[in-house]
Structure 1
């Protein structure tokens, strides 16, 4: 494939960790694109941004950053000058002064969205049954069980602190809009994607198309790699 030399860096959000990118990274590597994942602590937006920036320091050359859901806020907070494009997968993209929670709750959720609150340890976990009903309803039962068993919880500090000036105001962005998402309403996704002036690809997919429709995710990333950085 005739692409530039950008490395694709995939960043997970809450409740679906690095392994949720496995199918996408396999497709990208077959296409000759270098792809790596980053693990976030999900302890605060500042901690997560620092973890991403540290990972980017280890990469030579330009980068295309991909963020799922909450990680949209993290890739938008990145400080590295290596980033030449942002790709959001059902992502949240707060503007300066907005919190992730404010964007998440901008429009009304449907009846399938599970209640979310910190547990006794101070972490927000997704109820196990929500993976089949709201989070990954298009996945196989085995995939749903694996997601539930390996979910990385998120701390309130990640979603309640205002974001700084977002990177999407300075670099081009692409957005995969998940029309059948029961976690982040499609209306919310379209709002943030339009505000960013992103290249929007809208599909009838669930909240984790990296697992349930990986080719669609990979195709959008390839488009970003091809058409950014020129």
Structure 2
């Protein structure tokens, strides 16, 4: 198998959409790696897993799943047949029986983290000022304005349902730890990464390096691609 035989499926987190992976997609393409961004509805954990599985089915051969933030919970529940590795980018990784909210609120939040609450429709929106304070503080003003404008709310049902057995117990896993994360504190990320026995790459990046620092994200995905291709 060569690296060209491996496909990447990228899963966006809460308050984002597939366009957040744009710089990662083009960076991987420059290395000869094909990637597709799965559109997640963010309406329920089960619905997001089903949407991810539909994207996996469109890819030929072995697949590596990459999840940012909330999507770490989603990639771990995907149909396993084609999945050869997982890559977490400042992502959440609940164990079997845990809820996304359990790991997200495991420790005291960062002082700049936004206070989150569902609206009348049980949807959680990110306050506009949170994009600069916590979500992507290292982004340009232009990038932050786009992120805020296209944000997609996450339903309460995504984070309050116990997860099933995660794939990270069965396949190789990589974890990009964001040292400057104001949304998911680094200590929580390290706890999850070490529990998964993931290959950890720690970088001085914010919560959304897929936008603000795509280089380390591309590098860790490429590491996973090369490892899967060798096997």
Once the 2 structures are TM-superposed, how far is the Cα of residue 161 of structure 1 from its aligned partner?
0.2
1:140 equivalent in structure 2: 140
Q: Distance in 2 between matches of 1:37 and 1:201?
A: 22
Q: CA RMSD in A?
A: 0.9
DSSP 3-state at the match of 1:53? helix
TM, length-normalised to structure 1: 0.98
1:150 equivalent in structure 2: 150
For the Cα contact (< 8 Å) 2:7–2:34, is it kept in 1?
A: yes
For the Cα contact (< 8 Å) 1:4–1:226, is it kept in 2?
A: no
2:69 equivalent in structure 1: 69
Gaps of at least 5 residues in structure 2 are none
DSSP 3-state at the match of 1:131? helix
1:111 equivalent in structure 2: 111
Deviations 1:72-120 (A, max 9, x none): 0000011131000000000000110000000101111121000001112
Q: Distance in 2 between matches of 1:103 and 1:16?
A: 20
Q: Distance in 1 between matches of 2:216 and 2:69?
A: 16
Once the 2 structures are TM-superposed, how far is the Cα of residue 4 of structure 1 from its aligned partner?
5.0
Q: Distance in 2 between matches of 1:224 and 1:167?
A: 15
Once the 2 structures are TM-superposed, how far is the Cα of residue 228 of structure 1 from its aligned partner?
2.2
Q: Distance in 1 between matches of 2:167 and 2:95?
A: 9
2:35 equivalent in structure 1: 35
Q: Distance in 1 between matches of 2:3 and 2:51?
A: 27
Deviations 1:144-184 (A, max 9, x none): 11000101110000000000000000000000000100000
For the Cα contact (< 8 Å) 2:4–2:34, is it kept in 1?
A: no
Q: Distance in 2 between matches of 1:84 and 1:169?
A: 12
Once the 2 structures are TM-superposed, how far is the Cα of residue 194 of structure 1 from its aligned partner?
0.3
For the Cα contact (< 8 Å) 1:53–1:80, is it kept in 2?
A: no
Deviations 1:192-221 (A, max 9, x none): 000000000001100000001001100000
DSSP 3-state at the match of 1:164? coil
Q: Distance in 1 between matches of 2:91 and 2:119?
A: 24
Q: Distance in 2 between matches of 1:70 and 1:110?
A: 17
Length, aligned pairs only? 229
TM, length-normalised to structure 2: 0.97
Q: Check if 1:175 corresponds to 2:194.
A: no
